[in-house]
Amino acid sequence: MTVYIEQIAAHEGQEVTIRGWLHNRRSSGKIHFLTVRDGTGFIQAVMSKSGVSPETFQQADHLSQESSIVLTGTARADTRAPGGFEIDVTALDVVAPAHDYPVTPKEHGVDYLMDRRHLWIRTERQNAILRIRHEIVNAIRDFFNDRGFILADTPIFTPAACEGTTTLFSVQYFEDATAYLTQSGQLYNEANAMALGRVYCFGPTFRAEKSKTRRHLTEFWMVEPEMAYATLDDVITLGEALVTFVVGRALDRRARELRVLERETKNLEQVQTPFPRLSYDEAAKILKEKGLPFEWGGDFGGTDETVLSEQFDRPVAVHRYPSAIKAFYMKPDPDRPELSLSVDILAPEGYGEIIGGGQRLDNYELLLERIKAHNLPQDAFEWYLDLRRYGSVPHAGFGMGVERVVAWICGLEHVRETIPYPRMLYRLYP
RNA sequence: UCCUCAGUAGCUCAAUGGCAGAGCAUCCGGCUGUUAACCGGAGGGUUGUAGGUUCGAGUCCUACCUGAGGAGCCA
């Protein structure tokens, strides 16, 4: 019976067939140990000289790493096996050999591995990360779907800059026009929320910033919810519920993968609502007290974010940033107009900003003023102004960067390992 | 774009300005419980590129190329 390795426990004592690849091989002359992987897991197959034909035993002796193989044998529980089970091999079929496989079980440098990313993802560690990413993406979709949000995807080709701040990738759009790859579904989300109430978009996002840090990719995935008739408070509550749900799902369903990564889960288990909420003013005060060279009015740098998040055992919501350092569409705080009704949620352990959002400017005159002040082309924003012309309501939303969440939950040094093929400043291959 | 660091065998790395080395991988041999198995042997080099200093450069100097980390900007 053909089975997947992840289901092996249900077949103890039975004869099973595994279809996969040879991950590693050890031998003691008259006994071979073949570590096989099939995409669902890794298992050690034991082949003794007395258990198979001489030809099969000889063949296994020369089997190279990553050769594709189909093997049959008896599933047996064994306390010595990392997964709890082994297979006593009775038959082996080599589908295709692999010669001089470059990603050996030994150490390799980052550049070497990145050039071979298409092979690197076969390793147990990368496998675990991508499985956790899958779980996180699924959890995000379930979270919004279960709460009545409608998935309404926003365009990837856009006619103009959404926020006017970051550098965009441009592409030739047929003969005459230039299109830009989206940096946020935000503005379209607002229109969708006016049509559907509560919506979210979930897709790739592109930033042509020449950022060269462990927290940046040029192409990354972002989920952006937007709600009509919602306030800053509503999005903070939604954000902390989302983060808590996603972390809980990863702990619940991907414990094995987190163990592979040797992730300390104690910190993740503390992620429960409510999150501490800190005004920008209070955050600035903390940074001053810690002796950092931070001036009120500026945005937080990487070090600032790390210091702030270290004050708490769970993510922290920092709200009401100065309007001057936030996007033009942020609504001013009625009590203090120099502040915006904005929020960033910072992950613990120095992983930085994972959520950014707030309440949107819903007043026509003020929005028009802001568009002009930011030197944005008004005609490109006429449709966006329409949302304030025809039944404007308070509304709010945020964006959450998937790769940063995955890096945090997995405890990774760099976001480049959280996506199968990362796109970075100097990385477009493979 | 700026700052810092790195580039030597297929991979990971050594080598005081003085003979180009090790482990792993590969190939050959040994081993019936290995977990990155181990033991013995063999093959494997335009020291990123181009100049310069020196009796002599992997090593020092200059420029360039490639990459990494960080800054700015952001999720």
What residue segments make up the domains of chain A, in order of their start?
Answer: 5-96, 118-418
- C-alpha triplet A193, A355, A192: angle, nearest 5°: 10
CA distance A174 to A204: 22
**Two structure tokens written together for A327:** 């996007």
Model confidence at A298, pLDDT cuts 50, 70, 90, reads: confident
> Under CATH, which number does the domain A118-418 receive?
3.30.930.10
Q: Is residue A193 within 8 Å of A201, Cβ to Cβ?
A: no
pLDDT score of A426: 80
Give the mean pLDDT of A7-12.
Answer: 94
pLDDT score of A132: 96
Nucleotide nearest to A34 (CA to C1'): B34
Q: Is the pLDDT of residue A358 over 80?
A: yes
The more confidently predicted of residues A301 and A9 is A9
* Per-chain mean pLDDT for chain A: 91
pLDDT score of A106: 79
The more confidently predicted of residues A268 and A376 is A268
Model confidence at A161, pLDDT cuts 50, 70, 90, reads: low
pLDDT in tens, A416-428: 999 999 998 888 8
| Å from the A38 CA to the B28 C1' | 31
Q: Is residue A167 within 8 Å of A177, Cβ to Cβ?
A: no
- The residue behind tokens 């808590």 is A244
pLDDT score of A362: 95
- Nearest Cα neighbor of A183 from A425, A399, A373 is A399
Q: How far is CA A292 from CA A3, A71, A322, in A?
A: 57, 60, 19
| Å from the A95 CA to the B31 C1' | 29
| Å from the A76 CA to the B5 C1' | 51
- Nearest Cα neighbor of A1 from A16, A12, A14 is A16
pLDDT score of A288: 87
> Strand B: which nucleotides have any atom within 7 A of a protein Cβ?
1-2, 10-13, 23-28, 30-38, 66-75
Measuring alpha carbon to C1', the residue closest to nucleotide B26 is A100
**Two structure tokens written together for A388:** 């304030």
CATH architecture for the domain at A5-96: Beta Barrel (2.40)
- The percentage of residues in chain A with a pLDDT greater than 90, rounded to a whole number, is 65
Q: How many CA atoms lie within 13 A of A430 on its CB side?
A: 11
CA distance A399 to A355: 6
- What are the beta bridge partners of residue A91? A72
Give the mean pLDDT of A48-53.
Answer: 89
pLDDT score of A204: 94
